Amino acid sequence: MENLGQILAFIVFLLVVWFIFSSLFKGMAKATKTRGYNYTIHFVNTDKEIELTENSRVMALLQIISHSKGNNVYTVLSKRNDKTLKELLMAEYHLQANQVAITPLQNAGPLASV
């Protein structure tokens, strides 16, 4: 009888843990769909500094969070994925794949420390 009680307690514990984590990830997914994804864009080996704000086609797809002037690094928010953004930036600025590095960021939420 004691074993049955322990087994039931363990099953209830697992269900509670599952419910908590599934709720967190569902909330994060909704927020991501609403706001978009955070990325760091780093342009390397370019002749001049790239100003994303001067290109309306690029700005229609992203929002600049920060820009490190002088070293071609941007932190942006976009609903597009990193592959789409990289292809757009390569086409708009006539760059090679090795000249654009896009890194996804997770600033908050349950995966921030992963």
Indicate whether 95 and 43 sit together in one domain: yes
113 band by pLDDT with thresholds 50, 70 and 90: very low
pLDDT in the model for residue 27 = 54
Residue 74's closest CA among 58, 91, 51? 51
How high is the pLDDT of residue 96?
A: 95
Q: Is the separation of the CB atoms in 90 and 30 below 8 Å? A: no
**Containing domain of residue 5, as a range?**
1-35
Residues 93 and 41 in one domain: yes
pTM: 0.64
The Cα-based distances of 58 to 9, 13, 34, 85, 99 in angstroms read: 54, 48, 19, 8, 17
Please write the tens of the pLDDT for every residue from 64-100: 999 977 888 999 999 888 999 999 999 999 999 999 9
Mean pLDDT along residues 34-44: 86
Pair 71, 40 in one domain: yes
